[in-house]
Amino acid sequence: MTQSIESFIETIVRKTITEKFADTNIIDSKRRTVIAANWKMNMSLETAGSLITQLADTTYSNTVVVCPPYPYLYPVKLLLNQSTSNIQLGGQNVHEEDKGAHTGDISAEMLKDVGCEHVIIGHSERRMIGETDELVNNKVVKALEKKLTPIICIGETAEQYDQGLTKEVVSSQIQTALTGVTDLSDIVIAYEPVWAIGTGKSATAEQAQDIHEYIRSTIEKSHGVLADEVPILYGGSVKAKNAEEFSKMKDIDGVLVGGASLNAEEFKSIIQAFA
């Protein structure tokens, strides 16, 4: 996308201000912090209910999103409605079309219908089974059209990391994912290096910060200062014991948690690290 003169000027002004106030939170203050739980294909109706009951005994100062498997979305929503907690609900995937002959798929409208406000799109576990950058883009556009906040997942594989291709890969993934998207106020990005997912081997906070900063600068090239508003989450072996390190980084605005989100105490500690 060609940058307009207005957004070019805005970019320069913001850069100047950012440099001037580098040690303060003035620039970052409008970015929201998001802690999201991706339960993947785990839990039963009973354990899902028990986990939500334990999590929903509190009101959180940041945005906390829980993404259960499809069959548990509505029961979880009913439990959340009975609580005073502000936990939000998200789907783990969505179809790019409104309706039709798509056996086994779920539409954005259906997710909204059962109370979702978010949806994870382009998780590496779906990219691995054939989701392309273009499909991810179509899903992002559909989610936004239906007023769902997409949590767009990007990240390099172990091979790409070894070949030094991380920045090239994430830049291409994010540019395609945001094609045709002009308003970034309802977008969340999750940087999840594939080699860190479920391996217990997370990126260091410094490594993640470096890539997050790069992702933001990539978005800035196409969307100007709007890039500053976008929460960029880190995901990949986040635990209670390493969450605080990530929380200290300027461009890490939260986390997308897999395994550690299945335990209430552990997930609460992670939320607390960002509070």
* Catalytic residue chosen out of the listed positions 123, 156, 220, 223: 123
Whether 192 sits among the annotated catalytic residues: the reply is yes
Q: By C-beta, is 180 or 198 nearer to ligand 13P?
A: 198
Which residue has the closest beta carbon to ligand 13P? 258
**Three-class SS of residue 238?**
coil
DSSP code at position 29? G
Joined together, the tokens standing for residue 26 give 């003035």
* Contact yes or no for 87/60 (Cβ under 8 A): yes
Torsion of CA 26, 253, 213, 141, to 10 degrees: -110
| Residue 173 within binding range of ligand 13P, rule CB under 6 A | no
Which region, judged by CB under 6 A, interacts with ligand 13P, from 17-25, 74-82, 217-225, 230-238? 230-238
| Residue 231 within binding range of ligand 13P, rule CB under 6 A | no
Return the bridge partners of 31, or none.
Answer: none
| Residue 115 within binding range of ligand 13P, rule CB under 6 A | no
CB contact set of 264 (below 8 Å; sequence gap of 6+) = 51, 54, 55
Q: By C-beta, is 4 or 199 nearer to ligand 13P?
A: 199
| Residue 68 within binding range of ligand 13P, rule CB under 6 A | no
Q: By C-beta, is 122 or 224 nearer to ligand 13P?
A: 122
| Residue 65 within binding range of ligand 13P, rule CB under 6 A | no
Q: Judged by CB under 6 A, which of 34, 119, 152, 197 binds ligand 13P?
A: 197
Q: By C-beta, is 139 or 223 nearer to ligand 13P?
A: 139
Give the distance between the most distant pair of CA atoms in the chain.
56
Site for ligand 13P in 234-273 (CB under 6 A): 235-238, 256-260
Is 198 among the annotated ligand-binding positions?
yes
Is 77 among the annotated ligand-binding positions?
no
**Three-class SS of residue 225?**
helix
Which region, judged by CB under 6 A, interacts with ligand 13P, from 57-65, 127-135, 136-144, 192-200? 192-200
Is 115 among the annotated ligand-binding positions?
no
Helix (H) / strand (E) element for 92: namely none
Q: How far is the CB of 211 from ligand 13P (least distance, A)?
A: 15
* Catalytic residue chosen out of the listed positions 125, 131, 156, 192: 192
CB contact set of 90 (below 8 Å; sequence gap of 6+) = 36, 65, 66, 67, 116, 117, 118, 119, 120, 151
| Residue 193 within binding range of ligand 13P, rule CB under 6 A | no
CA dist 11 → 18, 40, 98, 227, 266 (Å): 10, 38, 36, 10, 39
| Residue 106 within binding range of ligand 13P, rule CB under 6 A | no
User: Which own/partner pairs from 181-185 qualify as long-range (CB within 8 Å, at least 24 positions apart)?
Assistant: 181/140, 181/141, 181/144, 182/223, 183/144, 183/226, 184/219, 184/223, 184/226, 184/227, 184/229, 184/230, 185/226, 185/229
Is 39 among the annotated ligand-binding positions?
yes
Binding site for ligand 13P (CB under 6 A): 38, 123, 192, 197-198, 235-238, 256-260
Q: Which residues are annotated as a binding site?
A: 38-40, 198, 237, 258-259
Residues that are catalytic = 123, 192
